[in-house]
Amino acid sequence: MSNANPRIAFNGVNAANGQYGLQLDGRQLADLIFGNASPVELRAQKDKYDDAIRNANLPTHRGVGEGIDATNLAQAGWGIIFAHADPHLEAVQEALQPLLALRKAQAGEHFRIFAGVDAYRPTESKLDFLRRFKVGSGAVDPKRGVPYYLLLIGNPELIPYEFQYQLDVQFAVGRLDFDAVAQYASYAASVVAAEQGQTRLARTASFFSVTHADDDATAFTDQYLVHPLLERLTPQYPNWQIQPVQGASTTRTQLESLLGGAQKPALLFTASHGVEFPLGDAKQEHHQGALLCNEWPGPRQWAGGALPADFYFAGEHLASSANPAGMISFHFACYGGGTPQYYDFAHKEAQERFAIAERPFVAQLPKHLLGHPNGGALAAVSHIDRAWSYSFKQNQTPQTTVFEGALERLLKGEPLGWALEFFNNRYAEVAADLNSEMDRMRYRGRTEPYELAALWTENNDARNYVILGDPAVRLAVEQPKRGIDTDSKPIQVHADRRPANILADDWQRTPATVQNALTDALHQIAQLRQQLQQANANQSTMRQSVYRDGGLATGRTPFTSAKPSAQSPPNPTRGNVLRGGQLRSGQRIDPSTDHNSSPDHEDGR
């Protein structure tokens, strides 16, 4: 091996002491994960990945079956999975009725609610769940009974992260987990408003990349992930305003402005440390996964001790006046999506699991973004457990294709769950590599701890990216300008009728008939430009907003009750639904609002 004990930069800062949450070299990492693993132990670990290998259809084009359009819910389908043990199932289902009605209208016969006897049952694996519906591994065909887009409802105690990870290898999976039923109602209203065109944001994508002095982790992320993404996307999407926010600008105040404030973009990508707290700390469930901003001076300059809360941005820091409606955010940060009860990366055999929390939970920042009473974000993508540089860098080479592919699909207007298939493909591919490496080491009768630890870590890291929110959402943005740009300057013509961009010698050599034709064409274009400008001016004086208050009700107060209050968003289907979530006969949704049945999206290229 070229370097048996490399230095590793870890993402994540312990807010209780202001130092890195994990500080290991390569050998220590290998020992943490496997110790002195025997071939028998490797066999046991390898068996855990067989399901991922069976589901992989590498290198690309997996997810839905041949001939099925994954961007069209009428073909791919949409379903929602409740937990059988959820005591609030009926109240949550009622709160989500506007979203369910919309998705039923879009997905038609491929819409399904998994509740009652069909709900997720405690301790079920992904294979157990699918076998109940006679569905096996491989590309998804919603005609078999399980749609491609699936929304899990409930916390990871009710529906475990492990179930979500494995289901997501085959399907496009998201999760909603709120602390109050009213937040589900707010989220549903926000998605419906976006799908029906009532919420439209400027075509802006912001990249908030925090770096600290003497901090390899954030330097690597900025250099090997954020910069390559900016270099790739900026020239490819001229109809988008792609804004880097870096260096000294990456303060908590600036982040607040991006998260539903005055500078809210349609797409927000953040790269930073996620703060973490030790097991038993009272702040863990409230602040773990919060985004550490530029106020922290770095590991060497920080004197030590607990970090002040104004160094990082947690869910409770999102202002009541914020309006994150319509945006999608992607957070590269440790614990940015949530925290498992047990550490996913340490797997020594014959040893108790390493607990890092009293129970698994979803991070508070995405919860507050999605369930905000002023209008929720459409989705947040982030990491469960610790995030690693293996996501985007192998040795010193950027490996950003997965991120590029996902973001490009989003910018083209495609559904989020379909965009994240790039991450699922990578997980399946790395799982196949890990499987092969374990076989090779088992046959040779000895292990190579660092190589194995790196593959194991890369595999779990790829697996742990999750969608919080409906996986079928798209960016809610204005359509790009089409046709002639009447604001551009007309071509200037000299006294001899020669266009300003043609040299005099060339004009003299041009036949008179061609000169006359060109002159007449330019004159006609000038007249058309004047007519278009006049028409646009007349139309702007008559144009009225097609919705009120940007699709949001004014004067709404935060939800505090266990059920939606009288101030909750109006529910167009409440009172017209059955307990199973189906619409009563005669109840309809205007199919013209279905963005999936006849998409009209521009990639800007």
Token digits of residue 585: 């006969």
CATH architecture of 32-71+114-469: 3-Layer(aba) Sandwich (3.40)
Q: Which pTM does this prediction carry? A: 0.72
User: In the prediction, which pLDDT does 426 show?
Assistant: 65
Q: With left for phi above 0 and alpha for psi between -120 and 50, is residue 575 left, alpha or beta?
A: left
Q: Is the pLDDT of residue 330 over 70?
A: yes
How many residues does this entry show for the chain? 605
Q: Is the pLDDT of residue 486 over 90?
A: no
Q: Is the pLDDT of residue 366 over 60?
A: yes
User: In the prediction, which pLDDT does 551 show?
Assistant: 34
Give DSSP secondary structure letters for 195-257: HTTS--B-SEEEEEE---TT-HHHHHHIIIIIHHHHHHHHHH-TTSEEEEEEGGG--HHHHHH
Q: Which residue has the higher pLDDT, 71 or 55?
A: 71
Q: Which residue has the tokens 């999976």?
A: 173
What mean pLDDT value characterizes the chain? 77
pLDDT, tens digit (0-9, with 9 covering 90-100), for 412-453? 999 999 998 877 766 666 666 666 666 666 565 555 555 565
pLDDT band at 596 (very low <50, low <70, confident <90, very high): very low
Separation between Cα atoms, residue 186 and residue 183, nearest integer Å: 5
Q: Which residue has the higher pLDDT, 508 or 244?
A: 244
User: In the prediction, which pLDDT does 54 show?
Assistant: 43
pLDDT band at 17 (very low <50, low <70, confident <90, very high): confident
Angle made by CA atoms 331, 332, 336, in degrees to the nearest 5? 65
Pair 209, 244: CB distance under 8 Å: yes
pLDDT, tens digit (0-9, with 9 covering 90-100), for 202-242? 999 999 999 988 888 888 888 888 999 999 999 999 999 99
Instruction: Identify the top-confidence range among 46-50, 376-380, 453-457.
Output: 376-380
Q: Is the pLDDT of residue 58 over 80?
A: no
pLDDT band at 41 (very low <50, low <70, confident <90, very high): very low
User: In the prediction, which pLDDT does 153 show?
Assistant: 98
Neighbours of 62 (CB within 10 A): 19
Q: With left for phi above 0 and alpha for psi between -120 and 50, is residue 83 left, alpha or beta?
A: beta
Cis peptide before 59 (omega within 30 of 0): yes
**Residue-range domain boundaries for the chain:** 32-71+114-469, 489-539
User: In the prediction, which pLDDT does 541 show?
Assistant: 53
User: In the prediction, which pLDDT does 546 show?
Assistant: 35
Q: Is the pLDDT of residue 524 over 70?
A: yes
pLDDT band at 308 (very low <50, low <70, confident <90, very high): very high
Pair 260, 320: CB distance under 8 Å: no
Q: Is the pLDDT of residue 147 over 50?
A: yes
- Residue 379: strand pairing partners: 328, 469
User: In the prediction, which pLDDT does 593 show?
Assistant: 41
pLDDT, tens digit (0-9, with 9 covering 90-100), for 549-587? 333 333 333 333 344 443 444 443 333 333 333 433 333
CA separation, residue 402 to residues 67, 281, 330, 406, 422 (Å): 24, 35, 13, 6, 5
Give DSSP secondary structure letters for 89-124: HHHHHHHTHHHHHHHHHHHGGGEEEE-GGGSB-TT-
Q: Which residue has the tokens 């994990």?
A: 22
User: In the prediction, which pLDDT does 549 show?
Assistant: 33
User: In the prediction, which pLDDT does 53 show?
Assistant: 40
pLDDT, tens digit (0-9, with 9 covering 90-100), for 69-122? 999 999 999 999 999 989 999 999 999 999 999 999 999 999 999 999 999 999
Q: What is the DSSP letter of 35?
A: S
362-371, 433-442, 464-473 — which is least confidently predicted?
Answer: 433-442
pLDDT, tens digit (0-9, with 9 covering 90-100), for 487-503? 556 677 777 778 877 77
Close Cβ partners of 449 (under 8 Å, ≥ 6 residues apart): 27, 30, 31, 34, 37
pLDDT band at 523 (very low <50, low <70, confident <90, very high): confident
Q: Is the pLDDT of residue 595 over 80?
A: no
User: Secondary structure of 426-471 in the HEC alphabet?
Assistant: HHHHHHHHHHHHHHHHHHHCCCCHHHHHHHHHHHHHHHCEEEEECC
Q: Which residue has the higher pLDDT, 34 or 183?
A: 183
In degrees and rounded to multiples of 5, residue 201 shows phi and psi of -105, 155
Token digits of residue 296: 């922290």
Q: Which residue has the higher pLDDT, 180 or 514?
A: 180
Token digits of residue 260: 């539903």
pLDDT band at 505 (very low <50, low <70, confident <90, very high): confident
User: In the prediction, which pLDDT does 353 show?
Assistant: 64
Q: Is the pLDDT of residue 39 over 90?
A: no
Count the alpha carbons within 13 Å of 193 in the hemisphere toward its beta carbon: 30
User: In the prediction, which pLDDT does 413 show?
Assistant: 93
Of 209, 104, 219, residue with least CA distance to 472 = 104
Separation between Cα atoms, residue 424 and residue 150, nearest integer Å: 15
| pLDDT > 90: percent of the chain | 45
pLDDT band at 349 (very low <50, low <70, confident <90, very high): very low
Q: Is the pLDDT of residue 391 over 80?
A: no
pLDDT band at 184 (very low <50, low <70, confident <90, very high): very high
Pair 207, 229: CB distance under 8 Å: yes
Mean pLDDT of the region 118-133:
93
Q: Which residue has the higher pLDDT, 526 or 547?
A: 526
How many angstroms separate the first and last alpha carbons of the chain?
Answer: 43
Q: Is the pLDDT of residue 244 over 90?
A: yes
Mapped onto helix, strand or coil, the DSSP state of residue 29 is helix
Pair 345, 266: CB distance under 8 Å: no
